């Protein structure tokens, strides 16, 4: 099982975006204001718009949060994201779909929603004690595969990621204009395995 992380080449980081990403300027203010440490974990959703042959395994994605207090060691937690049953759609993102593309909507597993609540309490306690800090968030694919032979030509394979921290809230475009082949290449992975 290889980890193909958005964090390596598609880093979504509130503290500093990797140069390999393509975040729309309209998302910068939203990202700066977003705080997963204040969100209800049950409401957090990630949407991935990808080529149709891509499959994300049921618990094949992660959300990583790093909290660096002013004093003390950083706390890093990885939370498993699961694909919603029936591959639920995100109506507000439907206009982003084109021919040969599909959308995956993911949420935290029940266990990891509880784990995020625990991290939120820990950070609130640190802040209440005067130990402010800053955080980073990233998302990645842990298990993905490809239906059919993986393309070897030069055709682009656009990939997008969007985040929502409130039920019924707006989707923030985290990543746009990224080619899946470039992500794989930067991770030294020639292709995705067949499903």
147 pLDDT tier (thresholds 50, 70, 90): very high
Check pLDDT > 70 for residue 90.
Answer: yes
End-to-end CA distance of the chain: 13
The residue extents of the domains of the chain are 4-186
At 12-46, the pLDDT tens digits run 322 222 333 445 556 656 665 666 677 899 999 99
Which helix (H) or strand (E) is 53 found in, with range?
A: none
At 173-195, the pLDDT tens digits run 878 878 888 888 887 888 888 88
* Average pLDDT, integer, range 126-141: 84
């Amino acid at each position: 099982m290889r980890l193909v992380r958005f964090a390596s080449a598609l880093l979504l980081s509130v503290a500093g975006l990797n140069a390999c990403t393509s975040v729309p300027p309209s998302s910068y203010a939203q990202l700066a204001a977003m705080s997963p440490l204040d969100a209800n974990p049950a409401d957090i959703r990630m949407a991935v718009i990808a080529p149709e042959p891509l499959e994300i395994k049921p618990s094949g994605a992660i959300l990583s949060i790093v909290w660096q207090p002013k004093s003390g060691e950083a706390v890093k937690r990885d939370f498993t994201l699961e694909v919603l049953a029936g591959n639920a759609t995100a109506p507000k993102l439907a206009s982003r779909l084109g021919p040969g593309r599909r959308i995956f909507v993911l949420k935290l597993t029940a266990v990891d929603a509880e784990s995020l609540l625990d991290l939120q309490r820990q950070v609130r306690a640190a802040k209440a004690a005067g130990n402010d800090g800053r955080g980073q968030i990233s998302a990645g694919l842990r298990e993905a595969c490809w239906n059919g032979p993986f393309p070897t030509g030069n055709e682009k394979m656009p990939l997008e990621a969007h985040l929502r921290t409130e039920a019924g809230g707006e989707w923030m475009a985290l990543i746009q204009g990224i080619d899946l082949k470039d992500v794989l290449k930067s991770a030294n992975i020639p292709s995705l395995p067949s499903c």
